[in-house]
Amino acid sequence: MKKVYFYVMLSFLAINTIVAQEINNHWQLGTSDLNFGTNPPAVTTVANSGQYGNASISDDSGNLLFYTDGLKIWNKNHQVMIMPLSFDNSIGVLQGFIQPQPVVIVPHPGNKNQFFVFTTCNEVMIGASTYPGYSYRYYIVDFGDVQYPLGKIINPSSAPTGYQNILTDGGNYIQFDYIFRPIICVKNSTNDGYFLIGQRAFSGGQTEFFSYKITANGFNPVPVKSIITNDISYTNSQTEGTFQKYSSAVIKFSPDNLKMGELVINKTSISGSNTTYSSSKFFTLNFNNTTGVFSNFILVEDNSTAIGASVDFDFSSDSQKVYFVHGNIYVKDLMNSAIPARNLSDITNSASIPNNFDHIQRDKNNNILVSSSSSYLNRNSYIHKIDNQDSFSGSSLILNHISLNGYAIPSGNYTLPQLIPALTPPCLNNSVITSNVVSGTDRKQASNNITALNKISNGANAFYHAGNSIVLTSGFNAVSGSNVKVYIEGCSNNFGKMVSNSEKEEITLEKSEIDGARLYPNPNNGNFVINLGKENKKEINIAIYNILGKLVYTRVSKDSVVEVNLPDLSSGLYIIKLVGDNYNETIKFLKQ
């Protein structure tokens, strides 16, 4: 029998629903705010915005926290975030060339008030002789300073040159001229930290990948290196004003975190005649999310007709298909790589009827969404969706899936925000929770039993679920203003709102259970105890109703602890009304 026991008098608390992947709840696309708390997302027009979030993050309750384009960071009120001692609060400098992946946000695993912001800025010059080249940089957004309740930017640099926040290979700055600096984060195998992935490419058929560990101790600037030999031709030659030839890249991980794909984009432009030629190559690598090491280079597409000028891609949810954006949209089956990529766009791309799909990205609800720069039929005022994404032959494009309320996505270096991997707690057979929750959200799960003896402070959240029973002991205390939800479910890593059925039971603490009257176990098999919280010297009328309002049981009692035995009740939700002199309470319970 699955049980939730309440053995403690709790202070009054309000219950809020917190969904899984809350940190990915918002995309700030210029004037349009997409809230993925619903599926499809709700779109709100933000009058005082207009800034674009190439990366964004939400708080534990799913509310927008801050966002950035890679140059500036804006707080939840769409104001430029302050960097003390900085003259312009910038985190990026001289963004002269378009960067496919300009910035990524990573939560600090050991500090709920801090977030790392990694950016792929261009050259930085201080004085005539100080020149670190083109580098990855990072900053810290901090919410722990009471003087800056909307957050402040911390520059980790300390030396006079100010370059300590520039990533190195363990000794030297990572440099590759202009825009070849793809960047992404992926969570580790123990689900308690991340790897930040960077890359340095060489034209001689060799690529160096860097995996930086981000743990509860913070960011480790010494990376794990993987040198991959390949036949990718990375190029970078510049003749200002006439001829330019350079490589850029997009890197993304499959949903199972075990495979990384890279789309290498080679561009040749002749500025005099204003023409541009592009080609693309796509390869995959295996990734060891315990060590951070890459291996097993596989060239999947080598400038084929289908993906020849692709500019973005993403994996299907089963990690076996890849979708490329190349004006139209193409799908490639990684399990049958000999089969050519298939065009699944609804309209054939042409000069007269352009699709101009630009970017593609998975959202927190596991949908693959696509943006367009084309004003034809206002296509850039909508977000589009890949339907049936796990099917190579059956996937299709749903045009105009999400309306941006008439506002177009700006043209230029505007990507769809990367999905930030959400860390989930480990699964134990039995768990005893003793650590108090002062702020943020505490998520715990167990396959069998959870026993809670801790305190949940005002403004803090606690989500606990176990496979068989949850015991809130005499040491457990949820104070006024805290948010607590416990429910019966094993180690699913899903901390969203549960749907009550015979297998999943969600218990929300009622005010009656908090102020005095408590019922346990809940859910139950029809046999349960009602504890009125203190000695009762007057008659209390106990009436039980089913969900349709039909009276199914009644009795009068003067006892402070009342045992009820109704094993023949039908399964479902029931309401108990407790009425007496100056006494009126309501309790809900679930009969299994």
Instruction: Please give the full DSSP string across 55-90, using - where no structure is assigned.
Output: EEEE-TTS-EEEEE-SS-EEETTS-BPB-TT-SS--
Residue type, position 268, single letter = T
CA atoms of 171 and 20, how far apart (whole Å): 39
How many CB atoms are located within 10 Å of the residue 238 CB?
Answer: 12
Q: What phi and psi values does residue 515 have, to the nearest 5 degrees?
A: -80, -15
Q: Are 69 and 53 in contact (CB under 8 A)?
A: yes
pLDDT score for 403: 96
How many CB atoms are located within 10 Å of the residue 42 CB?
Answer: 12
CA distances from 402 to 177, 390, 414, 563, 579 (A): 38, 21, 17, 53, 50
CA distances from 562 to 4, 246, 518, 559 (A): 18, 78, 11, 6
Tokens 């009692």: give the residue.
557
With vertex at residue 422, the alpha carbon angle to CA 35 and CA 152, rounded to the nearest 5 degrees, is 70
Residue type, position 276, single letter = T
Tokens 């403004």: give the residue.
459
pLDDT score for 392: 94
User: 396-403 and 382-387: which strand pairing?
Assistant: antiparallel
Name the strands in the sheet holding 259-270, side by side, starting at the edge strand that comes first in the sequence: 236-239, 243-253, 259-270, 275-288, 293-302
Residues with Cβ within 8 Å of 160's Cβ and at least 6 positions away in sequence, in order, are none
pLDDT score for 406: 93
pTM: 0.72
Residues linked to residue 29 through DSSP beta bridges, in sequence order: 32, 52
| Residue in 400, 521, 543, 398 with CA at minimum distance from that of residue 471 | 521
| Residue in 211, 200, 127, 198 with CA at minimum distance from that of residue 162 | 127
Taken in order of first residue, the domains within the chain and their CATH numbers are 1-16+422-500 (no CATH), 22-403 (2.130.10), 510-592 (2.60.40.3080)
CA atoms of 49 and 44, how far apart (whole Å): 11
Q: What phi and psi values does residue 24 have, to the nearest 5 degrees?
A: -100, 25
CA distances from 36 to 28, 176, 408, 519 (A): 11, 36, 19, 36
| Residue in 449, 364, 558 with CA at minimum distance from that of residue 4 | 449
Tokens for 519, please give them: 């019922």
pLDDT score for 314: 97
Averaged over successive runs of 10 residues, the pLDDT of the chain (592 residues) comes to 43 33 89 91 87 91 91 93 79 58 92 92 45 70 93 75 66 62 90 92 78 95 91 64 69 92 79 62 95 95 75 94 91 92 66 72 94 88 95 92 92 86 81 85 85 86 84 77 80 58 43 58 86 69 87 88 88 86 82 82
H or E element: which one contains 511? helix 511-515
CA atoms of 30 and 42, how far apart (whole Å): 15
